[in-house]
Amino acid sequence: MTTLKPLQKWSNLSSANRQSSPPDDSLRDLKYGRCMSFFVAGNWKTHLLSDEANTLIQQLLDQCNQDGVAVFPPALYVPQVSDQLRDSAIGFGVQDISESGFGATTGDLCAQQVAEFGCQYALVGHSERRQRQQESSQWVAEKALAAVTAGLVPIVCVGETLEEREAGNDVATVMEQLEPVLNLVPVDSTLMVAYEPVWAIGTGKTASADQAQAMHSEIRARLSQIGMQQTKILYGGSVKAANAAELAQCPDVYGALVGGAALQIDEFAAIVAAFQERH
C-alpha cells in the first residue's frame, strides 16, 4: 500500500490561527488550510463498483476540482479515492464512524484508521443509519466526539420525518437530535450540521427554500447561543441542479449534502456552480 502523506488538519492549527480565521462566512479547508466559502458534498451511499467510482472521481477532477467540494464514497473505496484525490482540492470522508477507537468492535470504522487514509470528514447520524441501525442521538454524539478527537470534521445529520413535521414537531425533533452532540463535543470543535428532512431524502421532494431556511435559522440560533456560531449548516434531501440555486440563496444554507444527484457529474457540477455563484 502507498504511504499516505499527512494532510494538514484544521484541528492541528494553532489556537491563535483558529481564533483569527476563518472569517465569518468561510470555513478553513482541512486539506490545505485555505478558506472555503461553501461546501457541497456527494454522499455516494452504497452505490457504484470500484471502476465506476474511479470514473466518477476522474470526472470530478475534470469538472469540480475546487475548494469546498467533497465526496463520501463507500468506505471500501477510500484508499483508491485518497490516491486519486491526493493533489487535488477535493476533500473526502466516510459515511459513518465508530464511537470507540481501536478495539474489539467488528466491522466498525475506527476514526484514527480513517484519518490515516487522509479522510477529513465523517458523516454521523445519517437518517438511514438512525433508522436501519437504530442509532440514538447519544450514540451519534459519541461518534461526533470520536471524529473530532481524531482530527476529523463530523457532519452531524439531523432531520424530521413527515409525521413529525405534520404534527408540528419538526423543530423539536431536530433540536433533540442535535442537543447530545452540543453537550458532548468541545465548544471550539469544527463540525458541520446537515439538515436532511427524512421526507426529502431520495423522494424527489425537496424542502422549499423557505422551509430549509426556517430550520437552518433555528439551528443557527441554537448554535449561536452556545458559542458555536461558526458552525456551517448544510441542506440535504433531493438536491439537484434544478433546485440548487434557490437553496443556495438562503442565508443560512452554507452548502449541500447530495445523494442521488452526486452520482451524475453534470448534475453535481451544476449544484457546485450554484453554490459557488452565490458568492
Size of the site for ligand 13P (CB under 6 A): 14
The residue within the footprint of ligand 13P, chosen from 6, 202, 227, 251 (CB under 6 A), is 202
Cell numbers linked to 8: 494538514
Could you tell me the three cell numbers for 57? 472521481
**Binding status of residue 131 toward ligand 13P by CB under 6 A:** no
Question: Using the rule CB under 6 A, which residue among 254, 260, 267, 274 binds ligand 13P?
Answer: 260
Q: Which of 255, 275, 268, 245 is nearest to 64 (CA)?
A: 268
Based on the shown chain and the rule CB under 6 A, indicate whether residue 237 belongs to the binding site for ligand 13P. Answer: yes
Out of 201, 215, 223, 271, name the contact with ligand 13P by CB under 6 A. Answer: 201
40 binds ligand 13P (CB under 6 A): no
Q: Should residue 69 be labelled a site residue for ligand 13P when binding is judged by CB under 6 A?
A: no
231/238 with CB nearer ligand 13P = 238
Alpha-carbon distance of 175 to 137, in angstroms, equals: 10
Q: Does 238 bind ligand 13P (CB under 6 A)?
A: yes
Among 26, 43, 84, 173, binds ligand 13P (CB under 6 A): 43
- Measure the CA angle with vertex 102, ends 100 and 106; round to 5°: 80
Mapped onto helix, strand or coil, the DSSP state of residue 228 is coil
b/e burial code for range 187-210 (CB count within 10 A of at least 16 → b): eebbbbbbbbbbbbbeeeebbebe
Strand ranges for the chain from DSSP E: 27-28, 35-36, 39-43, 69-72, 91-94, 121-124, 153-158, 192-195, 232-236, 255-258
73 binds ligand 13P (CB under 6 A): no
Q: Does 156 bind ligand 13P (CB under 6 A)?
A: no
Question: Residue 149's Cα: distance from chain center in Å?
Answer: 17
Q: List the catalytic residues.
A: 126, 196
Q: Find the part of the chain contacting ligand 13P (CB under 6 A) among 6-14, 224-232, 253-261, 267-275.
A: 253-261
Contact residues toward ligand 13P (CB under 6 A) are: 43, 126, 196, 201-202, 236-239, 257-261
